[in-house]
Amino acid sequence: MTIAAGSTGWTLPRVKGLTWITWRQHRTALFGAVAVLGGFSVFMLIHGLAMHRDYHRLGLGSCGSFSTDACQNALGTFQHRYQSVADFLPVPLAFAPALIGAFVGAPIIARELESGTFRFAWTQATDRVRWTVAKLTLLGAVLAGLALVFSALYGWWFHPWEPILGRIQSGKAYEVEGVVFAARTVFAFALGALLGAVLRRTLVAMAATLAVWIGVVLPSAIYLRPHIMAPEVAQLSKGGFVRNSWELSSWMQNAAGHHLSSAQQDALSREAGNAALNAADPRAAYDQWFVQHGYTNWVKYQPNSRFWHFQLVEGVAYLVLTLLLGAATVWWVRRRAA
């Protein structure tokens, strides 16, 4: 700290000093976040190199439509080798922002208040507002940068699956690729900081951060995300599907446009199967039976082309919440944390 000559008050602290103090205090937590994301990054790099090599060796990048026999055989081999990982990996990664918020965000103020060291910090060359703003902005910027780099790496790793699975499916690549992962990370960080300031107990704040983050993110993904844009509706052939899409619902309807229940569909399947038993091509006869009797299959879905629109809308929403949480934290520390 420095004292201005001929003055009885403290001078404003240098940003360099606040940056260094923040780094010294929270570098262990940041190293932990880097270690977690870094571990997954090493796995994706090694696994991704093998997966990309097989994708091109099998000719999936140049075989044309996946409905052809040549593509189907190669696709089956590729899916057998790698799809289990592609389906599973986004699940633990989707909760990584919550863990970062709990272990990095919750302690930054709670630990100071719990131990009483905030009294020393606030008598040095800074006040509580600048102290809080420095912690939130510096650590938040570092975490946002780490999350964006990690999302870019995941996007490279997942690239072979984009024409096969698409990126917009909820609970899959959408949760890690793009900007939503980073936006959720800084949201979790700001949430942890506010709860730490309010609750003043590190472990309690960490648990509360995990609970509140899940309580906000899961309902928004399940109930709000499908309505960012009105879904598309398409008629499908029997057993068909829309590739690269996020299927919201599907149904069968009769010629009058009435939706059929599962029990009614099971009864119709048995009737169609009996009618196709003696046909030269039972599969084709089975499908033709539904067409002849006016039954059609429909699907409501979000196309993969809307990926970035959904990402930007959701990312901006989390960033707005982050700014509100940050402002609430500064207000709380200034008015109540004493």
Tell me the per-residue pLDDT of 259-306, one tens digit each, with 9 for 90 and over.
999 999 899 999 988 888 888 888 888 888 888 888 999 999 999 999
Highest-pLDDT range among 59-73, 114-128, 156-170: 156-170
Nearest C-alpha neighbor of 287 from the set 298, 299, 297, 300: 297
Say how far apart CA 66 and CA 54 lie, in whole Å: 16
Task: Evaluate if residue 8 carries a pLDDT over 80.
Answer: no
Q: Where are the alpha helices (DSSP H) in the chain?
A: 15-57, 69-88, 90-94, 96-100, 107-115, 118-121, 128-158, 162-165, 180-199, 202-219, 262-275, 282-292, 307-335
**C-beta atoms surrounding 66 within 10 Å:** 14
Identify which has the larger pLDDT, 213 or 64. Answer: 213
Residue 329 · residue 110 · CB < 8 Å = no
Identify which has the larger pLDDT, 101 or 280. Answer: 101
Tell me how far CA of residue 284 lies from CA of 168, 278, 279, 281, in angstroms.
32, 12, 9, 6
Percent of the chain, pLDDT > 70? 86
* Cα end-to-end distance, the chain, whole Å: 22
Residue 6 pLDDT: 46
Average pLDDT over residues 88-107: 94
Highest-pLDDT range among 68-72, 183-187, 257-261: 183-187
Question: Worst-scoring range by mean pLDDT, 171-175, 278-282, 312-316?
Answer: 278-282
DSSP, res 226: G
Task: Evaluate if residue 26 carries a pLDDT over 70.
Answer: no
Provide the whole-model pTM: 0.85
- 175: which 2 tokens? 């949760």
Residue 89 · residue 153 · CB < 8 Å = no
